[in-house]
Amino acid sequence: MRTETRRQMLVVLSFIFLFLFSCASTPRKETELGNAEAYYNRGLAYGEKGKYDQAISDFTRALELNPGDARAYDRRGFAYGKKGQYDQAISDFTKALEINPKFADAYYNRGVAYAKKSQYEQAISDYTRALEINPKFAEAYYNRGVAYGRKGQIDRAMSDYTRALEIDPKLAEK
């Protein structure tokens, strides 16, 4: 009987240990996620003011606290793109898409970065993927039209410009 009691006690202690260990190793505390959101939001504000180095720094800190935030990768990529660091931008957009493969804005933004590097096939592919996710994405039609135009595919460019203007007539003011 004594051995049976000892075995039961060992099982109970094992469960208690496992419970305490799992609580202690919780990967993200609520405060860390809140801080990540605060850094993300400040990064947005820096980006709006054109302070891209500070924005990149805040998005990086947000990602240290919450590495699964596709939005932070997308916005950091956008900031890198504004600085002309297109390879780093493409890397961040790609990471955002690994986290969220249905992130139309990340496909669009990566397409813009590819276009800035004159890699029009990749840009067209990304704009097309963005449009598959969001068929009303006027800017994606517009920019895909620009890429088709740069490749000499004028009929396709005109078709995309027309579709973009049908969706958002204000694009004519660009």
Average pLDDT over residues 29-33: 60
Give the per-residue pLDDT at 88: 98
> Could you tell me the pLDDT band of residue 93, with boundaries at 50, 70 and 90?
very high
> Could you tell me the pLDDT band of residue 31, with boundaries at 50, 70 and 90?
low
Q: Where are the domain boundaries for CATH 1.25.40.10 in the chain?
A: 30-100, 102-174
> How far apart are the C-alpha atoms of 74 and 95, rounded to whole Å?
8
Give the per-residue pLDDT at 108: 98
Give the per-residue pLDDT at 172: 76
Structure tokens at 119: 């890699």
User: Which pLDDT tens digit goes with each residue over 34-52?
Assistant: 799 999 999 999 999 999 9
Global confidence as pTM: 0.80
Instruction: Return the closest-CA partner of residue 146 out of 124, 172, 113, 169.
Output: 124
Instruction: Choose between 78 and 24: higher pLDDT.
Output: 78
Which one of 1.10.1060.10, 3.40.220.10, 1.10.10.10, 1.25.40.10 gives the CATH number of domain 102-174?
A: 1.25.40.10
Cα dihedral 149, 153, 154, 158 sign: negative
Q: Is the pLDDT of residue 114 over 90?
A: yes
Give the per-residue pLDDT at 29: 55
Which one of 3.40.50.880, 2.60.40.10, 1.10.1370.30, 1.25.40.10 gives the CATH number of domain 30-100?
A: 1.25.40.10
> How far apart are the C-alpha atoms of 40 and 8, rounded to whole Å?
49
